[in-house]
A and B are shown apart, each in its own frame.
Chain A
Amino acid sequence: MNKKATLIVEKLNKSYISRNEQVMAMDNIHLELTPSSFNILTGPSGAGKSSLLSSLGGLLPPDSGNVCFEGKNIWDLSAKQLCQHRLNNCSYIFQDANLHPCLTAIEQVIILLRKKGVSKQDAKLIAEQQLTEIGLGNKLNLLPNQLSGGEKQRVTIARAIASSAKLIFADEPTSSLDSKNTEHVVELLLNTALKHDAIIFCATHDERVLAHAHRILHMESGKIQSDTNTLEQDKL
């Protein structure tokens, strides 16, 4: 059964000037991403992966084109509405996790829940539960500098799950992790996509991640050169 597409990208363009030359970061991109999917974006450096990820995540406005989520073009929203969209629907996992250096693991999750209006007690309970589920139950009160790279990424994933994000954007989430941690993080992302009907959109060079993807998009010079649905391939 085909799942209803919830993130539709239409005619997305973005260029920037580099050394007096116009470079196309995104060149007329069309894309549909479905819930419960783990989508991988590959391509060489400078292909436009991060730009596409950021535009889809409401962080980088495109020059033209639409990014429609649940029927609304997010780039038509006001700044405040866009913030609200990011808060309610999006979560981000970056290469070095970008956790607030002064907040403990549990506080990283709590602040987002509190921002979403969850009561203090419930926020603490949910945060504790999610962090425990992903194996950080004994590290709730540690600061980011006391956590390993893999643990930091797991905190961001816990934050995404706890906040019920429907769109999770990950930019090179495993590049600084060893194989064991990579496996763990990818497994968590995959489970999140399936359990919570989330769309995972992950830009990576990491071959270890590709094996788990539902869909692999290859990007070069701002264009999507190939789009492989691995689930359909498996069926065949």
Chain B
Amino acid sequence: MIATASLRVDWRRFVAIIGILAMSGVLFMMKASAILNQVDGNVWLANDSRADLIVKYQSDNLSKVFNWDFSESDTDIFYTHPNIEQVQIVPKPSGAEYRLVSGSVAEYVHLLAFAPQQNSLSLPYSVSKSERAALEMHKTFLAPKSFVIAHDAQIGDEFIFVDNQDDSVEEAWTLVGEFSTEVTPDWTVLITSPHSLSSTPGYSLIAIALKDDSLQEQTMAELNTLLTRYAKPFTVVKRADLRVEARKKALLSRTMQVFVINAIVPLAIFNLVTIVLIMRANLFSQIREFGTLHALGFTKFDLAKIAMEQGLWLGAGAIVLSTGLFYVVAFIWQQFFGFSVQLSALIFFASAIQIMFLAILGGALSIGILKKVELTSLLR
């Protein structure tokens, strides 16, 4: 009763505390996202992909792509491009029957630059109503710039092109078929963006899911022709070769994991100290009330429970606020620094649990203040 009454009546003061806690939460989320996206994101996403073929810019710096392990992927063929250092595959949303395509306008235009013969944007795919809803969600929460292409498009269909960057949220493009005539409509094309860490705009990856495995050889041949004509820098990398690379990457990955663990520990300590200090400051501002309760017969454990309950509510508020702030900060990073991070469920829950735990712990630890102050001085 006391904790909630304090929050209800004195909410203005607690808003400030929630704000400070939320900043700490954002800090954790941003750092964890940056680190984990960099290290784990690619493998996790690649393994989620159901693509049969992946076309990718050639990369001499494949080893720089942390933890790039396709050994578990269904992917058979890789095309790589030398100008790209980082790649990321975006998984299809659970329950969706189509293959999700995500990329950016800048990247798409960049692709066209490699295909000067092609004067108009054209892809043989459309977006249905339900997919459009998914797209809206996707563009809002996951990728600042994205578009979705379904596999069952026909020539003449419209597809939605989203560009959040220019505020022209969406634009309808008519399928003209130039691309589709050369890439069989039996394919699903997954276009993914390097929007995690790359400073080079451009396609990182085109993943192709075949409806029929027998089409693989034909598809490879067609792709080679197409990509050689439209985008000369593309080259082919065999999946088997990449597996060798993957083994090398696994070693690097382990090194990176050690780094991540070592980065997270001081980060967690920093957060712990910050939150405990905030909660102590919170208790200092209520020292007289706590002193009175102690005088009336509440034990320090009782007071700790009150402080912990306050911490619980403050932590819950901080999670909501920090999640909102995360997207704001992520958007600013993306817009001004071309560096975007994604808030995965893992990071969200890890951050949420951490904030809650630390806020509650901070409340409990701050009761130590009472030991240092004479009870009579609390009551004056």
Residues of A that sit less than 8 Å from B by CB: 50, 54, 57, 59-60, 79-80, 83-88, 90-92, 94, 98-103, 107, 110-112, 114-115, 143
Distance between A17 CB and nearest chain B CB, rounded to angstroms: 14
Most buried by A among B9, B288, B297: B297
Q: CA A114 – CA B297 in complex, angstroms?
A: 12
Q: Of residues 77 to 103 in B, which have CB atoms within 8 Å of A's CB atoms?
A: none
- The answer, among A59, A80, A100, A111, for a CB contact under 8 Å with B375, is A59
Is A100 within 8 A of B293, CB to CB? yes
B8 at the interface (CB under 8 A from A): yes
| B244-296, CB < 8 A from A | 288-289, 292-296
Q: Are A101 and B376 in contact (CB under 8 A)?
A: no
CB within 8 Å of A: which B288-317 residues:
288-289, 292-300, 302
A98 contacts across to B, CB distance below 8 A:
288, 292, 379
Are A86 and B296 touching (Cβ within 8 A)?
yes
Which residues of B sit under 8 angstroms from A115, Cβ to Cβ? Answer: 296-298, 302
Contact of A83 with B298 at beta-carbon distance under 8 Å, contacts A59-B375, A60-B374, A98-B292 already known? yes
A112 vs B1: C-alpha distance in the bound complex, in angstroms? Answer: 11
Residue of A nearest to B292 (CB): A98
The residue that A102 contacts in the complex, of B9, B297, B302, B375, with Cβ under 8 A, is B9
A87-B2 contact given A59-B379, A98-B288, CB 8 Å threshold: no
Contact partners of A57 in chain B: CB under 8 A: 295
> Which residues of chain B come closer than 8 Å to A79, judged between CB atoms?
299-300
Whether the Cβ atoms of B299 and A101 lie closer than 8 Å is no
B interface, CB within 8 angstroms of A: 1-2, 5-6, 8-10, 288-289, 292-300, 302, 374-376, 379
Could you jot down 27 A-B contacts, CB within 8 Å? A57-B295, A59-B375, A60-B374, A60-B375, A60-B376, A83-B294, A83-B298, A83-B299, A85-B297, A87-B296, A87-B297, A87-B298, A92-B295, A92-B296, A94-B379, A99-B292, A100-B293, A102-B2, A102-B6, A103-B2, A103-B5, A107-B1, A111-B1, A112-B296, A112-B297, A115-B302, A143-B9
| Chain B min CB distance to A190 (Å) | 23
Supplied contacts A91-B296, A111-B1, 6 more A-B pairs, CB within 8 Å: A98-B288, A101-B289, A103-B1, A107-B5, A112-B297, A115-B297
A98 vs B293: C-alpha distance when bound (angstroms): 10
Chain B nearest CB: distance from A132 CB in Å? 21
Which residues of chain A are within 8 angstroms of B9 by Cβ–Cβ distance?
101-102, 143
Q: Within the assembled complex, what's the spacing in Å between the Cα atoms of A59 and B297?
A: 10
User: Nearest Cβ in chain B — how far from A51, in angstroms?
Assistant: 8
Asked whether, in the complex, the Cβ of B374 is within 8 Å of the Cβ of A90, the reply is no
A115 CA / B300 CA spacing, docked (Å): 13
User: B residues within 8 A CB of A60?
Assistant: 374-376
Closest to B371 in A: A79
* B4 nearest in chain A by CB position: A102
Task: Tell me the nearest residue of chain A to B288, going by C-beta.
Answer: A98
The CA-CA distance from A218 to B379 in the complex, in Å, is 24
In the complex, what residue of chain B is closest to A159 when comparing beta carbons?
A: B296
Question: What residue in chain B is nearest A99 (Cβ atoms)?
Answer: B292
Once the chains bind, are A80 and B299 in contact (CB under 8 Å)? yes
Chain B residues whose CB sits within 8 angstroms of the CB of A50 once the complex forms: 376
Q: Which chain A residue has the least Cβ–Cβ distance from B291? A: A98
**B residues less than 8 Å from A90 (CB atoms):** 297
Report A159 CB to chain B, min CB distance, Å.
8
The answer on a CB contact under 8 Å between A59 and B2 is no
Chain B residues near A102 (CB-CB < 8 A): 2, 5-6, 8-10, 289
How far, in angstroms, from A101 to B11 measured CA to CA in the complex?
Answer: 12
Determine which of A59, A99, A107, A112 lies in contact with B376 in the assembled complex, contact meaning CB atoms within 8 Å. Answer: A59
Q: Bound complex: CA of A103 vs CA of B299, how far in Å?
A: 19
Whole-angstrom distance between the Cβ of A10 and the nearest chain B Cβ: 21
Contact A86 B376 (CB under 8 A): no
Chain B, Cβ-Cβ closest to A171: B379
Q: In the complex, A96 Cα to B302 Cα: how many Å?
A: 24
User: In the bound complex, how far is the Cα of B5 from the Cα of A107, in angstroms?
Assistant: 10
List chain B residues, Cβ under 8 A from A111: 1-2, 293
**In the bound complex, what is the Cα–Cα distance between A142 and B183 (angstroms)?**
75
In the bound complex, residues from chain B placing their C-beta under 8 Å from that of A88 are 297
Cα(A80)–Cα(B302), bound, Å: 11
User: Are B297 and A86 in contact, with the CB atoms below 8 A?
Assistant: yes
B238 to A: closest C-beta gap in Å: 69
Q: How far is it, in angstroms, between the C-alpha of A85 and the C-alpha of B293 when the chains are bound?
A: 14
- A107 to B297, alpha carbons, bound, how many Å? 16
* Complex CA distance for A60 and B2, rounded to whole angstroms: 25
Specify which of B8, B288, B297 is in contact with A83 (CB 8 Å cutoff): B297
What residue in chain A is nearest B298 (Cβ atoms)?
Answer: A115
Distance between B292 CB and nearest chain A CB, rounded to angstroms: 5
CB distance from A133 to the nearest CB of B (A): 21
Q: In angstroms, how far is the closest chain B Cβ from the Cβ of A149?
A: 17
With both chains docked as a complex, state the minimum distance between the C-beta of A98 and any C-beta of chain B, in angstroms.
5
Across-interface contacts of A99 in B (CB, < 8 A): 292
Closest B-chain residue to A114, C-beta based?
Answer: B1
Known A59-B375, A59-B376, A60-B374: A101·B10 in contact at CB below 8 Å: yes
Query: Smallest CB-CB separation from A83: which chain B residue?
Result: B299
Please, how many angstroms separate the alpha-carbon atoms of A143 and B296 in the complex?
Answer: 19
Tell me if A100 and B297 are in contact (CB < 8 A).
Answer: no
Q: Whole-angstrom distance between the alpha carbons of A86 and B299 in the complex?
A: 10
How many Å lie between the Cα of A191 and that of B39 in the bound state?
Answer: 74
